[in-house]
C-alpha cells in the first residue's frame, strides 16, 4: 500500500515547501540547501534549513545523509 501523506518542511525564511518537489539537497555544516525549482537551482535560488532554526525539518532531510 502506498503512503499518500504529503510532507511539508519549514524553511529558515518562513516558507513551507512540499517534500515531493525537492530536486536536490546539499549539506553545509549544520544547514541544508534545498532546491525546489523544476529546472534546477544555483546557490542563490535555494531554501535554507538549519538545525538551529528548524530542527524537525532539518532532521527529516538530514537522515538521508547518515
pLDDT at site 20: 93
pLDDT at site 40: 85
CB atoms under 10 Å from CB of 32, counted, come to: 26
The DSSP call for residue 14 is S
Over residues 6-60, the pLDDT tens digits come to 889 999 999 999 999 999 999 999 999 999 998 888 878 899 999 999 999 999 9
Q: Starting at the edge strand that comes first in sequence, how are the strands of the sheet with 31-35 ordered?
A: 24-28, 31-35, 47-50
Amino acid at each position: 500500500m502506498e503512503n499518500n501523506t504529503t510532507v511539508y518542511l519549514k524553511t529558515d525564511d518562513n516558507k513551507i515547501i512540499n517534500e515531493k518537489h525537492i530536486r536536490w539537497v546539499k549539506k553545509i555544516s549544520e544547514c541544508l540547501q534545498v532546491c525546489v525549482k523544476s529546472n534546477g537551482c544555483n546557490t542563490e535560488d535555494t531554501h535554507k534549513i538549519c538545525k538551529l532554526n528548524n530542527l524537525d525539518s532539518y532532521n527529516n532531510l538530514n537522515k538521508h545523509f547518515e
